[in-house]
Structure 1
Amino acid sequence: MSSLFGQCSTNGINNDVTFNVSGQCNEPTSTFYEEITATSKDITVIFQDGDDDPNDGIDYILNYSNSFITGVLDLTSNTFDSTYFATHSVHLIIKSNTYVKVNGHLVLRYGSTLTIEPNATLEVVGNISFPPNYNNCSDCNDATLSSAEIASARAEFEEEHQNSVEIYDHGTMIANNIDYNSDLPVELTFFKASKDVLNNDVILKWQTATEVNASHFNIQKSNNSKQWKTIGSIEANGNSNITIDYEYIDQINTTDAFYRLEQVDFDGRVEYFGPIKVVSNNIKPSFDVTFAPNPLPNNSDININVLGDIENMDLYFQLVNINGEIFFEKTFNGVSSNIFYHKIPNEILDQKGLYILIVRCGNNTLKKKLIKM
């Protein structure tokens, strides 16, 4: 066993190993680059608190440093078949009630897995990254191929590489950054999502501060943040040193959804931003709103009915146009039953067009479209 794990176990680094100690296993304060390599078989590395106490703080500190972040813990494979798939892999498991802190970076390479069990914590003071090793892909460095063919081979290899790494986070994972590929020439200012409930849309927005050799952005979606599907693509601006804004609109899910950006260079290299989570709208309000007529003829009043769990609740009404101008606004305090009726006079809406009726009760809000003929 190398010095990195010397105080935790006497097992060899090329074998399966379980670290199981009571109290804190604190590694030396020196810089390290620890590469656990699966050559002839899979390697499983398990961290498990010997006294199984979830409240005893950090159980393992790898490469503890008081002054700066140093070191890399690298899980890799040197054994590949003819199609460059890793035939042996390293599996890192953090058992329940165990807290592991890595003062450095964690690198997950081809075929490796990271499992954080319930009530377990992995804290990485540096970055978690997934860099591909092009030495394991002959077409990625073949001088007899065209630049386009090499770029295509690298893009395919990177995708296979990223798909081969699996993270099962059932506990708590803390990291400075999760970076699928480093040193790529797009600097992102922000990447965020918002919901347009009225139109049942998710609006994704991002902004770049700089772009170098940037081809396009693939927008990817997942229901579990592990398996991803490309749902759209937006062309990048190639080379830029000014801020550029981007936007993509998707339909709201009935379940929670995750989004990330796959930024692709002209040479085929990729970088990932995100993921971000969008919470579903599957929890429906405890009331419903109907009104008639709709579309609204000229000289007709708006008859609004609210039905549901609203007794003794406050009802808030607002009627706006598509520019956000308010035409009607009123709060009805402590309605007397679960059925409520109100009439809005026709003369309030002086122009034809689309209006939005907003009704709020407690923490729930409903929005309905109204067309004035």
Structure 2
Amino acid sequence: MRFSILFLLLFSIELAAQKPDGTLPVELVYFQGYFADGKVILFWGTATEVNNYGFEVERGNRQQAVGNNAWEKVGFVFGSGNSNSPKSYYYEDSTDLQQAIYHYRLKQIDNDGAFKYSDSIEISTITKLEREPQPLFNFSLEQNFPNPFNPTTVISWQLAVGSSVTLKVFDVLGSEVATLVDEEQPSGNYSIVFDSTNNPQLTTNSLPSGVYLYQLRAGNFVETKKLVITK
């Protein structure tokens, strides 16, 4: 499955300071998004959660994203309540998307109704043909993010020219554990979400914690990087 990524914004946010009773807040460690195949893909992760009912996903476009009246709710994802371990979340938005630049944010809601907003991220749904000419691409493989991760991470790469592309994951002994991409791709930027659990691309049901290598081959270009799974 191929994703043509246009924007990928990565950052770490803490939704709230420590509560007066000493408990930990809902700590958002990443919030990411990109546009692919007519949908905006959003995913985020928390380090800890206390009293977390869930997350409303809100959207606004660049011209409107000033003030609370500019935001609309497009979805909801249930939280994990109370948790001291990392949790990952995922949402797809395909509702009434136009050729535009959108802003997305999360409204984290407690079980008692209290809520806080994350910072917003900006994602373009303008297709490549409608954008201004871009500079020539290079061959490159980016470091996955987040890293370490559990259970999902994003791997991105760039192709200078159209190539026969494979993207594979290996354990430290050199045994292949997943084939993420095996296809012809034109020049451009690409990204894929790698799920280390319940993934049909894996050679096993789930990958244990540890160090792994991921390798991109595109024509004569070969590059390998390291990723770490924590549980």
Q: TM-score, normalised by structure 2?
A: 0.47
Greater Rg over alpha carbons, structure: 1
Point out the structure with the larger helix share: 1
Instruction: Give TM-score scaled by structure 1 length.
Output: 0.30
